[in-house]
């Protein structure tokens, strides 16, 4: 009879160990699944952030390219006829602000705001200043994938009024 309780005690300890191991394994699987779900839920957020960053980068490149091209001009040349002849604004405009939505600002890539960005537009505002100087403000706008209107803008002064 001594052997029977001893066997029963051994089986009970063994079952307890197996039960503890099973609970540990289930907990590990649950924690791993929870971590995987959290990780995979971040993928759309990261993708959206990368898309927004890429669009802002393109808009800034277009904006900078327009500023660079304008800085090559004399203040007296910042007029609709000259800007149109140099293919810096869309044709047929006579007063500021001017649109350059369909003008390719980069000859290598042929990018215009409308081609490079979703619903992209470009706007150039020219403001006369004293001393035969002009201030130019460049604005690139587009619609993000979330439907929000995004804009980058910069400007510079051409002439001796610095």
Task: Give the model confidence (pLDDT) of 54-108 as tens digits.
Answer: 888 888 988 988 999 899 899 988 989 888 888 888 888 888 899 888 877 666 5
Is the pLDDT score of 45 beyond 90?
Answer: no
| pLDDT tens per residue, range 105-126 | 666 556 788 888 899 999 999 9
pLDDT of amino acid 9? 63
Q: How far is the C-alpha of 19 from the C-alpha of 101, rounded, in Å?
A: 69
Judged against a pLDDT cut of 60, whether residue 4 lies above it is answered with no
Retrieve residue 32's tokens. Answer: 């791993």
Stretch (H or E) spanning 17: helix 3-71
**pTM of the shown model:** 0.70
Residues 6+ apart with CB under 8 A from 81: none
CA pair distance 155, 160, nearest whole angstrom: 16
């Amino acid at each position: 009879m001594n052997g029977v309780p001893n066997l029963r005690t051994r089986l009970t300890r063994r079952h307890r160990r197996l039960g503890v191991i099973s609970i540990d394994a289930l907990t590990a699987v649950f924690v791993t699944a929870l971590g995987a779900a959290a990780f995979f839920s971040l993928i759309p957020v990261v993708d959206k952030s990368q898309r927004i960053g890429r669009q802002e980068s393109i808009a800034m490149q277009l904006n900078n390219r327009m500023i660079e091209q304008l800085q090559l001009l004399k203040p007296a040349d910042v007029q609709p006829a000259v800007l149109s002849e140099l293919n810096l604004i869309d044709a047929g405009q006579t007063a500021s602000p001017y649109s350059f939505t369909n003008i390719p600002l980069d000859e290598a890539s042929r990018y215009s705001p409308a081609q490079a960005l979703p619903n992209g537009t470009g706007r150039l505002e020219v403001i006369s200043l004293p001393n035969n100087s002009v201030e130019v403000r460049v604005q690139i706008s587009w619609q993000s994938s979330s439907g929000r209107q995004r804009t980058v803008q910069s400007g510079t002064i051409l002439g001796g009024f610095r």
